[in-house]
């Protein structure tokens, strides 16, 4: 069974408050950690959740507005102090390396571990990470500076073995992996046993789309079509749509429209302006367009699945 979870570490925009923290999320896919954005205080939130910092090998920064990256210097320094030696992969749609290099220069310090920097394009979607289980691609967003979202997709899972059928047809163990990949079984007599006799359909693959700061942007719809879970910023309510337009942010209604047009299974909204002390209006506005919407509440874990 796949473990695919999103832990919300912060959901505030602009300035943090004692109770609302800057944007950051931890994606857990089968105990492989991916940190998405790193607002101020992220390392404290990680420690509160007892996340071992040294298990994080991939950090994604959507863009270089302070509420999305100002926690990175402290996190890198703490990893160093804890004795990290493993390489860290740092992905950003702009030159975050220069920021970190300047800090280290004037700090007259260094890190005991290497950082591999990946600068991603922000105009077109591109696949930039892949292993045997998942693919991660960029989602070009519409904001004041280069900004990308991230699409996490499980690869197609192997077919499941029908244990009774393989016993009946005396399939040797060394053929099991081939069956999972869809191959037929050929007996010593030359008889061909079709794969669908020996296996069961594969379980569904899940996906998660993280859409950081962005104005309403329909160009992302083909990229995030039918994802299992969508996070979309919803900084304002429609009453303040003029402010959203001016700052290239979205309203809760616009986030819900994107979810509806993309036919996603589930929507969570966050990155709320501090002018809203209660999220009720934001949630009601989104649910009036797309019912399956929740608030990306801090400290809540969302399981990525198809309802």
Write out the H or E segment, with its range, that includes residue 99. Answer: helix 96-107
How far is 259 from 216, CA to CA, in rounded Å?
A: 11
Record the tokens describing residue 179, joined without a space.
Answer: 């069956």
Give Cα separations from 10 to 144, 253, 298 (angstroms).
Answer: 22, 21, 5
Give Cα separations from 188 to 166, 181, 191 (angstroms).
Answer: 15, 21, 7
Contact 281, 242 (CB under 8 A): no
Contact 58, 91 (CB under 8 A): yes
How far is 279 from 260, CA to CA, in rounded Å?
A: 20
CA 16 to chain CA mean position, Å: 22
How far is 60 from 87, CA to CA, in rounded Å?
A: 15
Q: Among residues 37, 67, 94, 213, which one is catalytic?
A: 67
Give Cα separations from 154 to 45, 132, 134, 218, 251 (angstroms).
Answer: 27, 9, 4, 24, 29
How far is 168 from 187, CA to CA, in rounded Å?
A: 12
Catalytic residue check, 132: no
How far is 299 from 304, CA to CA, in rounded Å?
A: 16
- Hey, which residues are catalytic here? 67
């Amino acid at each position: 069974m796949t473990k695919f979870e999103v832990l919300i570490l912060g959901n505030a925009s602009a300035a943090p408050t004692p109770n609302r923290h800057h944007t950051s999320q931890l994606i857990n896919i089968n105990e492989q950690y991916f940190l998405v954005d790193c607002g101020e205080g992220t390392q404290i939130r990680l420690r509160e959740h007892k996340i071992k910092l040294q298990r994080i090998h991939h950090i994604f920064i959507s863009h270089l507005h302070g509420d999305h990256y100002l926690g990175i210097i402290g996190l890198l320094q703490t990893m160093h102090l804890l004795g990290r030696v493993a390489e860290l992969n740092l992905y950003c749609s702009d030159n975050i390396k220069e920021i970190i290099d300047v800090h280290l220069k004037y700090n007259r310090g260094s890190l005991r571990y290497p950082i591999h920097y990946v600068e991603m394009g922000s105009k077109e979607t591109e696949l930039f990470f892949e292993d045997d289980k998942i693919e991660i691609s960029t989602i070009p967003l519409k904001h004041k500076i280069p900004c990308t979202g991230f699409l996490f997709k499980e690869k197609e899972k192997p077919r499941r073995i029908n244990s009774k059928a393989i016993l009946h047809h005396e399939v040797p163990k060394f053929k099991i992996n081939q069956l999972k990949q869809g191959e037929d079984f050929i007996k010593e007599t030359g008889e061909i046993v079709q794969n669908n006799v020996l296996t069961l359909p594969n379980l569904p693959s899940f996906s998660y789309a993280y859409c950081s700061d962005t104005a309403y942007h329909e160009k992302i719809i083909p990229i995030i079509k039918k994802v299992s879970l969508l996070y979309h910023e919803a900084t304002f309510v429609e009453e303040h749509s003029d402010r959203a337009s001016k700052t290239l942010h979205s309203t809760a209604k616009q986030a819900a429209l994107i979810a509806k047009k993309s036919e996603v299974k589930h929507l969570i909204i966050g990155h709320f302006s501090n002018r809203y002390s209660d999220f009720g209006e934001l949630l009601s506005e989104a649910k009036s367009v797309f019912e399956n919407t929740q608030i990306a509440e801090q400290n809540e874990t969302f399981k990525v699945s198809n309802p």
